[in-house]
Amino acid sequence: METLKLRDDYIKLGQALKAAGLSQSGVDAKFAIKDGLVKVNGQVEIQRGKKLHEGDIVEFNGNQIKITV
């Protein structure tokens, strides 16, 4: 499991996928999220602007990212 450090209080889901290198662009992230391919804390998430906070875990394409401070 990889970690992604927060610079602010939160990061949006689409930005997190791009920052972690799981998506090549914001457009790719948008479609992956809209298609229901991304999970946040074990639940399918379809909101690209979902705010992620410390401790949240994102799953996509067999990869996991943990949000840390």
Say if residues 31 and 25 touch (Cβ distance below 8 Å).
Answer: no
Per-domain residue ranges of the chain: 2-68
What's residue 42's pLDDT? 97
**SS3 assignment, position 60:** strand
Give the model confidence (pLDDT) of 17-59 as tens digits: 999 999 999 899 999 999 999 999 999 999 999 999 999 999 9
Say if residues 10 and 53 touch (Cβ distance below 8 Å).
Answer: yes
State the amino acid at position 54 in one-letter form: E
Rg (CA), the chain: 10
What's residue 44's pLDDT? 98
pTM of the model: 0.91
CATH 3.10.290.10 fits 2-68, yes or no: yes
- Given a cut of 90, whether residue 1 has pLDDT beyond it is no
- Given a cut of 90, whether residue 67 has pLDDT beyond it is yes
